[in-house]
Structure 1
Amino acid sequence: MNFVDTIDDRVPVRRALVSVFNKRGLDLLIPGLLRLNPSLSILSTGGSFVALQAILGPGAARHLRQVSDYTGQPEMQGGLVKTLDFKIYLALLSETYNPEHAADLARTGAEPIDLVVVNLYPFQETIARAGVTPEQARANIDIGGPCLLRAAAKNFLRVAVVVDPADYPALLSELEAGGGALSLGTRFRLAQKAFAATAEYDRAIAGYLGGLTGSQVAASYPNLKPGGGEA
């Protein structure tokens, strides 16, 4: 376990990871980030990558990179595994003044990520729909997103995490006022919001699953087999 005593108040945003279900506001955020840092590098996945390509146009090749190209691992079918990779979490959790972390970054070719923009599969909205099945609810449980949010929020020492598109304008305003950097106070407030979001998300999942019976779950699978097969 590491205890840190030396950090930077203001941290410039040089590299971002963007993986969102709700793409509202990206057309404001991404051009704004690039205006403030024309050399910004962005990692992204799946539908977010496609949306960012459209926003960036001819500049996409310069600024945008698939997470799978960065990690060297393809996405799992169905997008089940996209960002759960050592190089991603090394890039999120490394501490600025830790020489062993710096050595790990150099050894793996990982690069520190300064900004994480993530929002989650709409589990709460899914279970609010009439007639939703346990399988439909299960499929909308986000795994990678909460992990990214928690890792980035834990390392508010140098990483900013944005879970709510409503925060994009304020983020850009501070970056503009701060010469492309975000303060510790802002990173901490964003971390508080990210942890609150993941806690609410998990409460919704636990509450929904806790209200189901085994027979209700089994009824979701018309081809339920007796077992013995391998995953």
Structure 2
Amino acid sequence: MSLQPLDELPQHSLPIKRALLSVSDKTNIIPLAKALHDADVELISTGGTARTIREADIPVTDVSDITGFEECLDGRVKTLHPLIHGALLGRTSHQADVDEMKRLSIAPIELVVVNLYPFQEATADPNCTPAIATENIDIGGPTMIRASAKNFAHVCTLTAPEQYQEFIDEFKNEGKITFEKRRQWAKEAFNHTAHYDAHIANYFNELTAEEDDQPEQLNISLPKSQGLRYGENPHQKAAVYGYQDEFIDCFHGKQLSYNNFLDVDGALRLIADFQQADPTCAIFKHTVPCGIATDKNLHKAWDKAFQTDTKSPFGGIVVVNRELDLATAESIDEIFTEIIIAPSYSDDALDLLKQKKNRRLILHKKQLSSKAEKQFRSIFGGALSQDADFEVTTEDDLKVVTQREPTEKEIQDMLFAWQVVKHVKSNAIVYAKDQQTIGIGTGQTSRVEASQIAIAKAEEEGLALDGTAIASDAFFPFPDGVEAAAEAGATAVIQPGGSIRDEQVIEAANKLDLTMVFTGKRLFRH
């Protein structure tokens, strides 16, 4: 097999004489077909696409008339034929190909317009079965796309209705399509089929999820959502990929930055754990919660969250799980905030908040869901993958390990602190009382140091630690952690348990009249 390097490919503009149109999504196919017909381009088509074009009184030739072989197997076989693929793969600038095509009566096709069966949409339907899914796996479409895109030096490939107008404009003006455009659309075609195949592979990976918890092949295919001005720092290039518009709508203020997206992700993951709770407000800074509270009244929840740390919220993020009302908006507006996230806003709250043009206001449209969600992080030579953690610990999950049983209030405060500590970077310590964070210690190499920071912050804000519950994201390896908590004023401890010194820690708690529960689940966050 002889190969031509890219710099030897003919880079001429391409006239279009024959076009093959076979699309599942027929959006704007008629204006494209009409523009081609008006330019005396012969149209070839299949099945439903051919019917649609004929109904618009535009002449079209069926593929079966070209191949001399009817569509068969319930439409599974239409275009898989040498007279079609020879027409797509023949290099009309290469004399040997031209001679062979002439000998085999293969006429070249210069334009292919194909999009694929809606596999992703079909499998998103909760009623989709494996039988339905497999019938939505396109075979002929990807084959034609790959064939024509491979031969982009001699064939133009369109795979999305959004490309049609750009094609029509250039074709009408020049009567030809430039090499640069063909190469651009070939790139988009290969990305299109890669994206399609990734969804099919991931669907089958999920079908066998019980046998293989993590797939043998990691397939990530996400469309570019938007380019970003820069990454974490101005010298780093960046973009965001995926389907963020399904979850949020940043309807006011500047474009979200790379760091903003990280902050919003952290805020949405935390508030997902409080979606069934009373009105809750959380304040974030650099992806770390610095104050969280729940109350019967959202305005009071904001006040309690802000009391935890009155310095860090400046330039931070605020997220709530209820409609943002005017009273709460007025209090938030007293400080500078980068982003506010809410499921809805009252009209008067919006009137107030929109007065600051650069502050981002985000509508939280859809909750994050535990359904099959994986988390990925790039590392040297590859990536890490894990299941996302959306589990919420309840009273039934707690194991009391001390002599003193917790009161109902202590249980509620421990569960609240446990929900918060899940979102604090390790080593993480949270003191809480009355559904309010009193002190948060985050990201320390020592658990005792994390506790000391939480205590110091509470004391700096004038918040009493007496009667608080303390949550630790991992077990206390030594008794000194619970001893420090008791000295600060805590009366209840919630932790995973599992240390070889658990008995020593429990003994220390009993001596200090602490109540302590084990969850059996660690919440490291690196």
Normalising by structure 2, report the TM-score.
0.38
Deviation at 1:73, TM superposition (A): 1.1
Per the alignment, residue 135 of structure 1 pairs with 131
List per-residue Cα deviations over 1:64-101 (Å, max 9, x = no partner).
21101101111112100100101111100111222221
Deviation at 1:8, TM superposition (A): 4.3
Larger radius of gyration: 2
Q: Could you tell me whether the CA contact under 8 Å between 2:16 and 2:41 is conserved in 1? A: yes
Alpha-carbon distance in structure 2 between the residues aligned to 1:139 and 1:95:
33
SS in 1 for 2:207: coil
Alpha-carbon distance in structure 2 between the residues aligned to 1:106 and 1:130:
51
Per the alignment, residue 123 of structure 1 pairs with 119
Alignment root-mean-square deviation, CA: 1.7
SS in 2 for 1:16: strand
Per the alignment, residue 15 of structure 1 pairs with 18
**Of Structure 1 and Structure 2, which has the larger fraction of its residues in strand?**
2
Alpha-carbon distance in structure 2 between the residues aligned to 1:46 and 1:116:
16
Per the alignment, residue 78 of structure 2 pairs with 82
Residues 1:53 and 2:49 aligned together: no
Change in 2 beyond 3 A, CA 1:195/1:132: same
Structure 2 counterpart of 1:43, which letter? I
Alpha-carbon distance in structure 2 between the residues aligned to 1:121 and 1:160:
21
Alpha-carbon distance in structure 2 between the residues aligned to 1:125 and 1:86:
31
List per-residue Cα deviations over 1:153-196 (Å, max 9, x = no partner).
00010111000001110000111221x10000000000000000
Q: Which runs of 5+ in 1 are unaligned?
A: 216-231
SS in 2 for 1:116: strand
Alpha-carbon distance in structure 1 between the residues aligned to 2:9 and 2:93:
7
Alpha-carbon distance in structure 1 between the residues aligned to 2:149 and 2:74:
27
Per the alignment, residue 3 of structure 1 pairs with 3
List per-residue Cα deviations over 1:29-67 (Å, max 9, x = no partner).
1111222x1x21111111011011112x1x52xxx2110
Q: Could you tell me whether the CA contact under 8 Å between 1:153 and 1:160 is conserved in 2? A: yes
Alpha-carbon distance in structure 1 between the residues aligned to 2:193 and 2:79:
17
Deviation at 1:130, TM superposition (A): 1.1
Q: Equivalent of 2:194, from 190, 196, 199?
A: 199
Per the alignment, residue 219 of structure 1 pairs with none
Structure 2 counterpart of 1:133, which letter? T
Query: Percent identity, aligned pairs only?
Result: 38
Q: Could you tell me whether the CA contact under 8 Å between 1:16 and 1:40 is conserved in 2? A: yes
Between 1:26-35 and 1:3-12, the stretch displaced more is 3-12
Alpha-carbon distance in structure 2 between the residues aligned to 1:145 and 1:125:
17
Pairs within 5 Å for 1:1-231? 1-4=1-4, 5-35=8-38, 37=39, 39-55=40-56, 57=57, 59-60=58-59, 64-178=60-174, 180-213=175-208
Between 1:93-102 and 1:194-203, the stretch displaced more is 93-102
SS in 1 for 2:74: helix
Alpha-carbon distance in structure 2 between the residues aligned to 1:163 and 1:16:
13
Query: What is the number of equivalent residue pairs in this alignment?
Result: 208
Deviation at 1:106, TM superposition (A): 1.1
Structure 2 counterpart of 1:20, which letter? V
SS in 1 for 2:122: helix
Q: Relative CO higher for 1 or 2, CA cutoff 8 Å, sep ≥ 6?
A: 1
